[in-house]
């Protein structure tokens, strides 16, 4: 069902800013895709709560962080799209704890923790998103996931009620969180271990080097396109349980495959790239072509890790 375009006059009055037809896709890592009917930047936490209290319940709400894991479809996003502001990016440390707003960049959280002598959070330096995105995706790399270091987080439901959630309550599994799709993460507390800052900073440098070598991080990309299938899924298809999704993509001729302006990276074939003039439709069609080939050859349905949001044009 196509929803009617929302206008600012349909919305509660706020202290923050509304922007109609905001170029959302262009702000993402892929640098393509449609607009948001209405973008809302709350002035602060209370403004966001009052906005949710006053918003008609039938209006869809969507929140983004750094847009490093999303394809915004060419037809754009209906309802209200929320981008949190500076009020949500504070990072504070206390003993072995790090308290952070949901808009703080993962890399900044890793850096602040390391400088304060808190180890265990350096994997965040390898993920180019925000803490809100990390909580939603249970982001992780090099053997650590967000759930491993999360103590608790705060989230707002669609009506503006605050919930404090622990990782157990959030059902965090590989690149997935069970928290309702319309919850908005506000902040999080992580626990690391006390260590010498230099030791932690050295590990961070190693992570950065590994990423430079193995991922197309200077391209217009969105990280891993598909999640690695579970050992159970692989064995049902008669495949070895330690096979990674990039190997399957490679075996169906995916490396370097192009549709329109979209290409599967030569450097890491589970990364999709906008070569310059890709549309969101090109990116999605390329992903679906890979899924079709893997299904035909291995009888295995790949799961998109990248979120595809909005309407096709």
Q: Which one of 104, 110, 127, 280 is in contact with ligand FAD (CB under 6 A)?
A: 127
CB count, 10 Å around CB of 231?
Answer: 13
Helix and strand numbers, DSSP H then E, in the chain: 10, 19
| Residue 248: CB minimum distance to ligand FAD, A | 18
Binding mask 85-104 toward ligand FAD (x if CB under 6 A, else -) reads: -----------------x--
Q: Which one of 137, 170, 200, 290 is in contact with ligand FAD (CB under 6 A)?
A: 137
Burial of 232 (0-12, 13-18, 19+ CB in 10 A): exposed
| Residue 72: CB minimum distance to ligand FAD, A | 10
User: 117 or 134, CB closer to ligand FAD?
Assistant: 134
Nearest to 136 by CA among 127, 292, 275, 51: 127
Q: Which one of 184, 200, 264, 269 is in contact with ligand FAD (CB under 6 A)?
A: 184
E strands of 73-182, at which residues? 77-83, 91-94, 97-101, 118-119, 140-141, 144-145, 150-156, 162-165
305 flagged as catalytic:
yes
Interaction between residue 65 and ligand FAD (CB under 6 A): yes
How would you classify the pairing of strands 70-72 and 307-309?
Answer: parallel
Eight-state DSSP code of residue 89: -
SS3 271: strand
Nearest to 216 by CA among 271, 259, 262, 258: 271
Q: Among residues 50, 219, 284, 305, which one is catalytic?
A: 305
Binding mask 201-220 toward ligand FAD (x if CB under 6 A, else -) reads: --------------x-x---
**Dihedral class, residue 122 (left if φ above 0, else alpha if ψ from -120 to 50, else beta):** alpha
Q: Which one of 132, 192, 229, 254 is in contact with ligand FAD (CB under 6 A)?
A: 132
| Residue 162: CB minimum distance to ligand FAD, A | 13
Q: Which range binds ligand FAD by CB under 6 A, 127-135, 164-172, 192-200, 235-243?
A: 127-135
| Residue 141: CB minimum distance to ligand FAD, A | 3
Active site residues: 175, 224, 305
Which residues would be at the binding site for ligand FAD (CB under 6 A)? 29, 62-70, 102, 126-130, 132-134, 136-137, 139-141, 184-185, 215, 217, 221-223, 307
């Amino acid at each position: 069902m196509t929803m009617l375009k929302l206008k600012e006059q349909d919305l509660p009055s706020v202290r923050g800013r509304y922007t109609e037809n905001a170029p959302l896709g262009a702000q993402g890592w892929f640098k393509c895709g449609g607009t948001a009917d209405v973008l809302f930047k709350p002035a602060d936490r209370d403004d966001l709560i009052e906005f949710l209290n006053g918003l008609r319940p039938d209006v869809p709400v969507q929140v983004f962080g750094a847009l490093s894991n999303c394809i915004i479809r060419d037809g754009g996003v209906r309802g209200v799209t929320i981008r949190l502001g500076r009020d949500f990016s504070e990072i504070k440390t206390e003993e072995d704890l790090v308290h952070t707003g949901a808009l703080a960049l993962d890399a900044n959280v890793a850096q602040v923790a390391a400088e304060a002598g808190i180890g265990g959070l350096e994997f965040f330096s390898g993920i180019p998103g925000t803490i809100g995105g990390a909580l939603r995706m249970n982001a992780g790399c090099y053997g650590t996931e967000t759930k491993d270091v999360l103590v608790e987080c705060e989230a707002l439901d669609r009506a503006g009620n605050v919930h404090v959630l622990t990782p157990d309550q959030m059902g965090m599994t590989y690149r997935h969180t069970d928290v309702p799709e319309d919850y908005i993460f506000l902040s999080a507390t992580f626990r690391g271990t006390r260590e010498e800052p230099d030791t932690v900073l050295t590990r961070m440098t190693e992570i950065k080097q590994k990423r430079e070598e193995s991922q197309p991080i200077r391209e217009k990309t969105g990280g891993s396109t598909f999640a690695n299938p579970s050992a159970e899924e692989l064995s049902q298809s008669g495949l070895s349980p330690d096979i990674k999704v990039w190997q399957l993509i490679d075996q169906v001729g995916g490396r370097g495959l192009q549709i329109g302006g979209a290409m599967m990276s030569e450097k890491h074939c589970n990364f999709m790239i906008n070569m310059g003039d890709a549309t969101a439709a090109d990116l999605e069609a390329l992903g679906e072509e890979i899924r079709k080939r893997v299904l035909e050859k291995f009888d295995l349905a790949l799961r998109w890790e990248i979120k595809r949001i909005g309407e096709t044009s």
